[in-house]
């Protein structure tokens, strides 16, 4: 049964102005759905929240990979010099160059880094793409597995086939239940039920079986290098250091995945999707869900999701409220 979706309401002068709906699934270490809001079975794309899974073949194939390079492979980075340096190092490890990256090109997400390029009259390269670390890691995973590097981004390539299987295996669904689209960076984007993605994050929170050592390394890399996962002022980077035992990853179109090691109910995996893709609602939902799961929400965390709206003149003009009522199984 589908419950009522959660809401994030933007109000101006006491009148609701815009409303986002959200679906949430929470899964425990045993893989059970323990709480949800809205449609926990919604089939949707984790997008970049899939990156910890997409980095698994890399972690498995390159046991000696430094943590920072594993982190950049899991990142949607902001294109600062620090991000580029680590992505470049990972790229060089397979003897690849920026011309081998199939992610395309966009200006750095970090406004300062973008302005620096403009000031120098330089164009962004594929290395500035937020997914360049993931792509560099994919090239290295191919090289170490003896798979051709050419075509590494294509749906039929052995690496992408393996990543799809890993989504199914960790998500507890059949491979046929993992549907495939193409992502903003041209690799396959997989769609699966929201609770299956929550299960993937539960596996990251409480690794089991053969994949456990690689999942442990990914969890450790993400949390130790939260700056590399996103960038200055961005949600993953700011939130992870504030919540002990949290590995979190944003995905495009307002997806979010959280692996929580330390909650009153033990390790949990969380996945949520804001139905309209409205990214601005994400921090509000993330905090509401953490609070509902009994994770202490501090003032520093609340600053990530301001309850008041300010205008261009710095004047307070409205409020933002998240109503995310979890139903417990």
Interacting residue ranges for its own copies, rule: CB under 8 A: 10, 12-15, 17-21, 43-45, 102-106, 115, 118-119, 121, 129, 179-186, 189, 191, 253-254, 275-278, 311-315, 317-318
- Write down the least CB distance from residue 252 to its own copies, Å: 9
Residue nearer to its own copies on the CB measure, 67 or 154: 154
Alpha-carbon gap, residue 256 to 253, rounded angstroms = 9
Residue nearer to its own copies on the CB measure, 114 or 242: 114
Cβ proximity of 114 and 107 under 8 Å: yes
| Phi, psi dihedral angles at 90 (to 5 degrees) | -65, -40
Paired tokens of 319: 């409020």
**Strands 316-323, 308-310: parallel, antiparallel or unpaired by DSSP?**
antiparallel
Nearest CA among 230, 24, 242 for reference residue 110: 230
- Write down the least CB distance from residue 96 to its own copies, Å: 17
- Write down the least CB distance from residue 32 to its own copies, Å: 25
- Write down the least CB distance from residue 43 to its own copies, Å: 6
- Write down the least CB distance from residue 208 to its own copies, Å: 29
Alpha-carbon gap, residue 313 to 320, rounded angstroms = 18
Three-class SS string for 35-93? Answer: EEECCCCCEECCHHHHHHHHCHHHHHHCCCCCHHHHHHHCCCCCCCHHHHHHHHHHHHC
Cβ proximity of 285 and 24 under 8 Å: yes
Residue nearer to its own copies on the CB measure, 126 or 267: 126
Alpha-carbon gap, residue 279 to 115, rounded angstroms = 23
- Write down the least CB distance from residue 318 to its own copies, Å: 7
Alpha-carbon gap, residue 161 to 163, rounded angstroms = 5
Residue nearer to its own copies on the CB measure, 147 or 255: 255
Residue nearer to its own copies on the CB measure, 215 or 254: 254
Residue nearer to its own copies on the CB measure, 141 or 254: 254
């Amino acid at each position: 049964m589908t419950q009522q979706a959660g809401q994030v309401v933007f109000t101006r002068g006491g009148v609701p102005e815009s409303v986002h709906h959200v679906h949430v699934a929470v899964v425990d270490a045993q893989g059970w759905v323990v709480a949800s809001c809205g449609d926990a079975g919604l089939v949707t794309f984790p997008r970049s929240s899939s990156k910890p899974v997409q980095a698994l073949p890399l972690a498995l194939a390159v046991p000696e990979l430094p943590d920072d390079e594993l982190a950049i492979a899991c990142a949607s980075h902001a294109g600062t010099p620090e991000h580029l340096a680590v992505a470049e190092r990972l790229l060089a490890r397979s003897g690849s160059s920026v011309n081998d990256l199939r992610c395309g090109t966009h200006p750095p997400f970090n406004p300062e880094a973008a302005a620096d390029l403009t000031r120098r009259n330089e164009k962004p390269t594929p290395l500035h793409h937020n997914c360049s670390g993931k792509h560099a890691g994919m090239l290295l995973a191919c090289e170490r597995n003896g798979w051709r590097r050419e075509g590494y981004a294509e749906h039929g390539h052995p690496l992408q086939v393996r990543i799809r299987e890993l989504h199914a295996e960790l998500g507890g669904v059949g491979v046929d239940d993992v549907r495939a689209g193409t992502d903003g960076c041209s690799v396959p984007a997989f769609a699966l039920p929201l609770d299956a993605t929550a299960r993937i994050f539960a596996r990251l929170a409480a690794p089991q079986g053969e994949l456990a050592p690689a999942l442990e390394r990914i969890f450790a890399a993400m949390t130790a290098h939260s700056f590399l996962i996103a960038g200055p002022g961005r949600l993953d980077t700011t939130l992870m250091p504030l919540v002990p035992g949290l590995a979190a990853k944003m995905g495009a179109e307002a997806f979010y995945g959280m692996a929580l090691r330390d909650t009153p109910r033990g390790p949990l995996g969380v996945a949520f999707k804001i139905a309209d893709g409205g990214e601005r609602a994400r921090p509000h939902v993330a905090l509401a869900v953490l609070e509902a799961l009994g994770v202490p929400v501090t003032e520093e965390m609340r600053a990530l999701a301001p309850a008041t709206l300010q205008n261009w003149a710095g004047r307070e003009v409205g409020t933002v409220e998240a109503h995310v009522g979890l139903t417990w199984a």
